[in-house]
Amino acid sequence: MIIGVLLCDLLFGQSFPGVNGFLGSRGTLMLDVVFLAMFVIVPVMLYSIYLVRYRRQYRLHKQLQLGLGLILLIAVSIFEIEQILVPWEARAEPSPYFETDHKWSSPVGISLLVHLFFAVPTFFLWIYVIVQAWRKFPRNPVPNEYSSVHRRWARLAALEMTMTAITGWVFYYLAFVAT
């Protein structure tokens, strides 16, 4: 780890492994991308729900949800690859809320566990909701016998996505912003 930090400092003029983000925190590029993306994803998701519920614009709802799903799949995939290559702990060390010796019992570790409690099921829930909607609604979507089931699972998915965003923002602040 120390050799990696020294090599990054020597080659790229930075103190942490990985590519620095653009928000001025200790976050990596993909941490910053995902952090900001959630400020777009959640409102667009809520707008899409509004469109289908109050405006009955089923096709636009479908297009928005498929677009969000694709964007999230790509962003989360790149983010997870980055996390394998560049673990977050070195960038969190300067935080007063992180203790290397007590990684999972420090406020940063606990906030990450809470975040993962929402994020992991959300990933699978979104896949389930999208695949089932794709299979059970016609190409030009209109309400049918599956609508009530879709509504129930989609509400849970929307709540989970919102909590994933909120808990992700808390983790990001505690680990990469706080000094």
Domain that holds residue 39: 2-177
How far, in Å, CA of 79 to CA of 30, rounded?
A: 5
Which pLDDT score is estimated for 16? 83
DSSP-assigned states of every residue in 74-104: HHHHHHHHHHHHS-SHHHHTTSTT--GGGTT
DSSP-derived letter for residue 96 is: T
Q: Is the pLDDT of residue 136 over 90?
A: yes
How does pLDDT run across 32-41, given as a tens digit for each residue?
999 999 999 9
Q: Count structural domains, the chain.
A: 1
Q: Is the pLDDT of residue 7 over 80?
A: no
Which pLDDT score is estimated for 14? 57
What is the residue whose two structure tokens read 């777009």?
A: 40
Q: CATH number of the domain that 55 lies in?
A: 1.20.120
